[in-house]
A and B are shown apart, each in its own frame.
Chain A
């Protein structure tokens, strides 16, 4: 069965610093991988996704993630944090099998200090 592990429930960075949010997955078949962001009192918004092809994917708001099959990882990065990036980030995996059920990680809350 597939699962998603996000290392670190809270990450704090200074404005302008590198953002690195870690995600590891387990899956018996090639997965589809996603990062979603949740701002306070809002729903989930897709940041980026990996399905096939190029392993480095770029998303909205300057975020990108790299799929590394050998490490079963899909870490999210952003070169320079902005105050508006403060939110909860969820890594998710979808096996693209009937029902397309998406499994979410526990989430990482990102704090950005001025």
Chain B
């Protein structure tokens, strides 16, 4: 299976601080996604990113969130001013063949104190 590398694996930050979560998927794919999973809850869709633009986002993905591919390989999720409720596992994913299935990274555990 192709690999998706996410860094860091764990991130601890103070409330109000900015965090950047990074993802390095296989570079030839066009669709990228961020999902999050609050402890004990379901995996929630945050945003899909196609051809260097946001194609769809959920109500969770407010103005505090942004995504980009600054260098054509890394795919980042930025949270400008973190809140306690942002504490979750954040998964990066990209679309596989025919975009039918997603390949997920192992996640970044974000803890906001």
Contacts and interface: CB of A to CB of B under 8 A. Distances in A.
Contact of B43 (A96, A101, A104): A104
Interface string A63-106: 00000000000000000000000000010001010111111111
Interface residues of A, number: 24
Given A96-B100, A101-B45, A104-B42, A43 B105 contact: yes
Contacts of B42: 90, 104-107
Q: How large is the interface on B (under 10, 10 to 19, 20 to 34, 35 or more residues)?
A: 20 to 34
B48 interface: yes
Given A98-B55, A100-B31, A104-B43, A43 B104 contact: yes
Contacts of A43: 4, 91, 104-107
A49 B105 CA distance: 19
Interface string A19-33: 000000000000010
Contacts of B55: 98-99
B43 A100 contact: no
Contacts of A101: 33, 45, 48, 56
Interface of B: 1, 4, 31, 33, 35, 41-45, 48, 50, 55-56, 91, 93, 95, 99-107
